A = this chain, B = another copy of it.
């Protein structure tokens, strides 16, 4: 049964799921969501997901949203990239939540405002505020990764797939890998995993497709 992933290339939250689908060897296909023309605000899309967000994973008669919940479902489905005991299960959940609260939410907004909003409309104070907050989060992540190779246990898990979601994108949003050597080494380790691909190779849609963002 082929899973359908409603997504678009620029969505780091979708990338977390696409990457996990690849790494767990699932059969899946992307369904392009035209976010930049308002598709997630349509009544039809809200029927699929009342939260109005991508990613959405449809697998048989099951529909899931929120990347972290989808990742947990994929662990259950495949037995891969998950916890090996109840303590690890809580620890993975802790990182998924931290990522949603302190990392990906800030990355997503900062990258959106800094790149996908017309230059004259960018709220500079809001962007700067987010970049300052993000530096604190990068600091926490870099510090933890100075003492371990993977966020939970001694192998990659969905905690890593969640936290790396925005960090492979080329558009600038205040993340400079050279400032955070331990994050950089960890991103390299993830890139070495069998099947790894960058976001725009896994999902349809990229900034170059849209006129207003081509140079």
Contacts and interface: CB of A to CB of B under 8 A. Distances in A.
A76 interface: yes
Interface in A53-104: 62, 64-69, 72-73, 76, 86-87, 90-91, 93-94, 96-98, 100-102, 104
A97 B69 contact: yes
A65 B50 contact: no
How many protomers of this protein does the assembly include? 2
Main secondary structure of the interface of A (DSSP, over half): helix
Interface stretch (A2-10, A25-33, A122-130, A172-180): A122-130
A191 to B, nearest CB: 25
Interface string A40-62: 00000000001110000000001
12 contacts: A50-B144, A51-B140, A62-B87, A66-B93, A66-B94, A68-B97, A69-B91, A72-B93, A73-B90, A76-B86, A100-B101, A126-B126
A141 B101 CA distance: 18
Interface of A: 50-52, 62, 64-69, 72-73, 76, 86-87, 90-91, 93-94, 96-98, 100-102, 104-105, 123, 125-126, 129, 140, 143-144
Contacts of A94: 64-66, 69
Contacts of A105: 100-102, 105
Contacts of A100: 97, 100-101, 105
Which has the most chain B C-beta neighbours within 10 Å: A72, A86, A90, A96? Answer: A90
Contacts of A86: 76
A36 B96 CA distance: 26
